[in-house]
């Protein structure tokens, strides 16, 4: 990846969500709850307009968004997210992100702090903060860090 700087924006990712996206995401995370695959349960019991993406699958989308940008040497240390609104079939998800900080810890590991937003039209559906380790140079591999040298 090219040189990273604080304030830099990440390339946007858009994705058209279908019922298959929602069901596949739920089953891939072993989430059998009916609001993620049963339209009638979602609309009649939960009172929402359709089945909707589950939280662990959203985490997987955020991970993909971060590592699409870093490449395979990027190593996630920490990720937190908060869901504000649901994502339904027919929605187009839009992921956008920004580097809010870039710093080296006491072990020489370089960390980028990211703020990421998942929106659908003008709705902010989820927000995520991530901390990802980046290689300092061509010979550095954050995945080689263990024990005291890995402080996520």
Partner 1 sequence: MSDTHDLPDEVASWIDAVRYEETGDFPVERGYIWTACASVENGNPLFWDDKAAAEITEGPIAPPSMLSTWFRPHHWAPDLDAQRLPLQVHFDLKDRLGLPEAVMTDNTMTFHEPVRPGDVLTTRQRLRSVSAEKTTKLGTGRFWVIDVEYHNQRGELVGVESWTGFGYARSER
Contacting positions for partner 1 (CB under 8 A):
15, 21, 24-25, 27-32, 55-57, 59-64, 67-68, 72-73, 75-82, 141, 143, 146, 150, 152
Q: Given the complex with partner 1, which of 60 and 102 has the nearer CB atom? A: 60
Tokens at 45, concatenated: 């019991």
Residue with tokens 């908060």: 82
Are 116 and 125 in contact by the 8 Å Cβ rule? The answer is no
Question: How far apart are alpha carbons 51 and 39 in whole angstroms?
Answer: 5
Are 58 and 81 in contact by the 8 Å Cβ rule? The answer is yes
Closest CB 69 distance from partner 1, rounded Å: 11
Closest CB 63 distance from partner 1, rounded Å: 4
Distances from the Cα of 92 to the Cα of 14, 112, 131, angstroms: 7, 27, 26
Question: How far apart are alpha carbons 37 and 20 in whole angstroms?
Answer: 9
Q: At 117, give phi and psi (nearest 5°).
A: -125, 135
| 3-state SS, residue 71 | coil
Q: Given the complex with partner 1, which of 7 and 151 has the nearer CB atom? A: 151
Q: Given the complex with partner 1, which of 71 and 108 has the nearer CB atom? A: 71
Closest CB 24 distance from partner 1, rounded Å: 4
Closest CB 107 distance from partner 1, rounded Å: 14
Q: Given the complex with partner 1, which of 8 and 67 has the nearer CB atom? A: 67
Q: Given the complex with partner 1, which of 42 and 145 has the nearer CB atom? A: 145
Closest CB 125 distance from partner 1, rounded Å: 15
């Amino acid at each position: 990846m090219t040189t990273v700087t604080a304030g830099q924006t990440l390339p946007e990712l858009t994705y058209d969500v279908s019922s298959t996206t929602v069901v596949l995401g739920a089953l891939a995370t072993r989430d059998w709850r009916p609001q993620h695959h049963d339209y009638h349960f979602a609309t009649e019991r939960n009172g929402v307009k359709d089945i909707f993406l589950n939280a662990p699958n959203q985490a997987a989308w955020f991970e993909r968004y971060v590592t699409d940008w870093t490449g395979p040497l990027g190593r996630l240390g920490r990720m937190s997210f908060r869901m504000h609104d649901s994502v339904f079939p027919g929605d187009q998800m839009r992921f956008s992100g920004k580097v809010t900080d870039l710093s080296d810890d006491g072990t020489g590991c370089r960390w980028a702090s990211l703020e990421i937003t998942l929106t659908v039209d003008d709705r902010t559906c989820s927000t995520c903060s991530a901390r990802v380790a980046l290689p300092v140079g061509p010979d550095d591999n954050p995945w080689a860090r263990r024990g005291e040298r890995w402080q996520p």
